[in-house]
Amino acid sequence: MNQEVFAAVAAALERGEPAALVTIVSTTGSTPQRVGAKMLVFGDGRLVGTIGGGCYEHDAFWKAREAIDTRRPRLMRYELSDDFAQESGLICGGPMEVYIEPIEPSPDLYIVGAGHVGFHLARFAGGTGFRVHVVDDREKFANAERFPDAVEVVADDIPAWIARTRLPPHAYAVIVTRGHTNDLEALRALAPRELRYLGLIGSRAKVARIFEALAHDGIAPAALERVHAPIGLDLGAVTPQEIAVAILAELIAVKHGRTHISPMQWRPPAAAPA
Angle between helices 240-255 and 116-126 (to 10 degrees): 40
Look at residues 125, 102, 136 and name the one whose alpha carbon lies nearest to residue 197. Answer: 125
Which residues, 6+ apart, have CB-to-CB distance to 273 below 8 Å?
A: none
The more confidently predicted of residues 208 and 264 is 208
CA distances from 72 to 60, 173, 264 (A): 14, 22, 25
Extract long-range pairs of 143-148: CB within 8 Å, 24+ residues apart: 146/114, 146/119, 147/114, 147/119, 147/122
Query: Could you give the CA distance from residue 29 to residue 96 in angstroms, rounded to a whole number?
Result: 9
Percent of the chain with pLDDT over 70: 86
Question: What predicted TM-score, i.e. pTM, was given to this entire model?
Answer: 0.77
Mean model confidence pLDDT for the chain: 87
The domains of the chain, with CATH numbers, are 2-103 (no CATH), 108-255 (3.40.50.720)
The more confidently predicted of residues 271 and 153 is 153
How high is the pLDDT of residue 86? 47
Most confident of the following: 75-84, 98-107, 128-137, 251-260: 128-137
Q: pLDDT tens for residues 24-59?
A: 999 886 666 688 999 999 989 999 999 887 778 888
How high is the pLDDT of residue 241? 96
Give, for 34, the enclosing helix (H) or strand (E).
none
DSSP alpha helices (H): ranges in 113-270? 116-126, 158-163, 180-190, 204-216, 221-225, 240-255
Helices (H) and strands (E) in the chain, counts: 9, 10
pLDDT band at 260; cut points 50, 70, 90: low
Residue 228 forms beta bridges with which residues?
Answer: 199
Average pLDDT of span 194-208: 92
pLDDT band at 143; cut points 50, 70, 90: very high
Average pLDDT of span 197-218: 92
How high is the pLDDT of residue 88? 46
